[in-house]
Structure formats: C-alpha cells, structure tokens
C-alpha cells in the first residue's frame, strides 16, 4: 500500500506515519510512504504520470497556501490519489470535505484506532479492485483494474472499453471482440450495470443517475434506456448504501 501524508507541520506528519507503522507491523504488509508539506506539492505529484499512485492520502484541512478542501476538488479530476482521509481539528470544515474520494475523517491528534480503521477500509477496497484482463480484437492483452473502467459501449459485434488515464486528461479506449451482452455476463460479479442496450457503466464512477448518467471526468452523457431505468436507479442506490455502510 502506498500511503501519502500531507500536512504543513512536520510533527503532525510524523505522528500519522508512526501510527500507520503500528498497523503495518501487525499486518506484515508491504507499504511505502510519501510526505507532502503542502497541497501544491500533492497536486504537482499527481500530475506526473511516471509517479506511483497513492492508495490513500491523509490530508490536513487547514494549511498554508492551498487548503485540503480545494486540493480535494482538484484531485477528483484524476486517479493518482485514489482515496482521501481528512485529518482535522476543525469540525466545522468536515461537511465541506465530503466527496467521491473521501473515505473518512479523523480528528487531530489522531488515535491509533482511527488510523487502523481507515487503513483497513483501504485494504479491503484494494482487494475488491480486482485486475481484469481483456483480449483486444487484434489479440493484444489489456490488463486493467476495475476502478479504472468508466464504461463500455457497444460497437456492433465489438465492445469499446473506456478507461481513465492517471493524469486526469480523460479516458482512453480499446476494443474487444465480444458483443456487449457477452461482456455484461462476464462482469456480473462486479459493480458494472447495463443501463442501455448499448451501454454498461461502472457504478464506482457514476456521479449522478437520471435520464442520463454523468460519469466522473467523462464528457459523454450515457443514456438510460426506458426498460433499464428503474433497475438502474435501484442498483445505484444499493451500491451507494453498501459503500457508505462499509466506510462507517
């Protein structure tokens, strides 16, 4: 697990790292750290595609320069920082900090039990983020993590798969030689839902679901077919409820 710690006070970063070490020592789990003194440093790191993605960022809310709330909004646009835990002494800022990447909030100074809970959530979600392998129509193997998939689109006897790029510049597409119905059956165990005769979406990346679906950092509005509408709404509500329950 790659852990990021962002706080403009060195002592605060050291305390979070020490508690993380207690957790990893007990789990005997591979891990690494990267520390940031400012939101600007995190943003700069996240824009470099050659950098290693960060599984969880422990982020202070109040910092000199860019604060944690504004940084979170910038990080929603890319995948280099996967999840955020806010570490804050300002309770009135908590509601401003809610967002798609945010998995929790812990007060300053943090206690071990709080760090343990957040790292356990990240570990469990990483296990669920399975690596999938698709064979392209040319025979090339494409390996991709579940959370990196935005949506699938039918293209006759083929299916286009749209996945996110790390630096937040949008999606890239590759084509596999399977009809979308075959893809739907193969993805039935995952958070992938048929919403139209020509579209499957990854619920993990849905921002809103109505007559059309908005996906994070995707310009295309995915249509919702009439016969899929009620099922899609029910499935999305259940997905969100389950995600919230696991993170509480």
From 81, 97, 128, give the residue that closes a domain.
128
Residues 233 and 153 occupy one common structural domain: yes
Residue 193's CATH number: 2.40.50.1020
Separation between Cα atoms, residue 73 and residue 215, nearest integer Å: 15
**Which among 128, 155, 177 is the end of a domain?**
128
DSSP of 49-82, one letter per residue? TTSPPBSEEEEESS-SSS-HHHHHHHHTT-SSB-
Please state the φ and ψ torsions of residue 221, each to the nearest 5 degrees. Answer: -90, 120
- Containing structural domain, residue 243: 131-247
Q: For residues 97 and 149, state if they share a domain.
A: no
For tokens 């790029």, what's the residue? 165
Q: Are 24 and 120 part of one and the same domain?
A: yes
> Which residue has tokens 């129509």?
137
Work out the pLDDT band at 245, boundaries 50, 70, 90.
Answer: confident
Q: What would the mean pLDDT of 118-134 be, rounded to a whole number? A: 93
Q: Are residues 216 and 141 in the same domain?
A: yes
What is the spatial distance between Cα 200 and Cα 210, in angstroms, rounded to a whole number? 15
Q: Given its phi and psi angles, is residue 121 left (phi above 0), alpha (psi -120 to 50 degrees) or beta?
A: alpha
146, 200: one domain: yes
Based on the domain organization, do 22 and 123 belong to the same domain? yes
Note whether 68 and 161 are same-domain residues: no
Whether residues 146 and 120 share a domain: the answer is no
Is pLDDT at 91 greater than 80 in this prediction? no
Q: Are residues 108 and 9 in the same domain?
A: yes
- The sign of the torsion formed by the CA atoms of 191, 197, 199, 205 equals negative
**Per-residue pLDDT tens for 148-176?**
999 999 999 999 999 998 766 689 999 99
Per-residue model confidence (pLDDT) at position 248? 66
């Amino acid at each position: 697990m790659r852990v990021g710690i962002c706080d403009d006070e060195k002592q605060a970063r050291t305390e979070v790292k020490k508690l993380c070490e207690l957790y990893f020592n007990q789990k005997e789990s591979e891990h690494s750290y990267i520390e940031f003194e400012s939101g600007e440093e995190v943003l700069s790191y996240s824009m470099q595609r050659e950098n290693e993605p960060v599984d969880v960022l422990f982020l202070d809310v109040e910092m000199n320069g860019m604060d944690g709330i504004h940084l979170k909004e910038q990080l929603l646009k890319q995948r280099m920082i996967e999840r955020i835990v806010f570490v804050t002494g300002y309770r009135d800022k908590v509601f401003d900090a809610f967002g798609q990447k945010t998995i929790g909030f812990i007060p300053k100074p943090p206690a071990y039990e709080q760090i343990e809970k957040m790292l356990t959530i990240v570990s469990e979600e990483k296990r669920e983020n399975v690596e999938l392998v698709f064979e392209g129509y040319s025979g090339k193997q494409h390996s991709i993590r579940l959370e990196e998939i935005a949506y699938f689109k039918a293209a006759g006897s083929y299916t286009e798969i749209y996945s996110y790029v790390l630096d937040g510049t949008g999606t890239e597409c590759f084509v596999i030689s399977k009809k979308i119905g075959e893809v739907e059956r193969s993805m039935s165990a995952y958070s992938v839902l048929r919403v139209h005769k020509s579209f499957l979406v990854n619920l993990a990346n849905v921002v809103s679901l109505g007559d059309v679906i908005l996906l994070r950092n995707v310009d295309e509005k995915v249509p919702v077919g009439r016969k899929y509408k009620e099922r899609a709404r029910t499935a999305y509500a259940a997905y969100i409820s389950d995600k919230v329950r696991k993170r509480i």
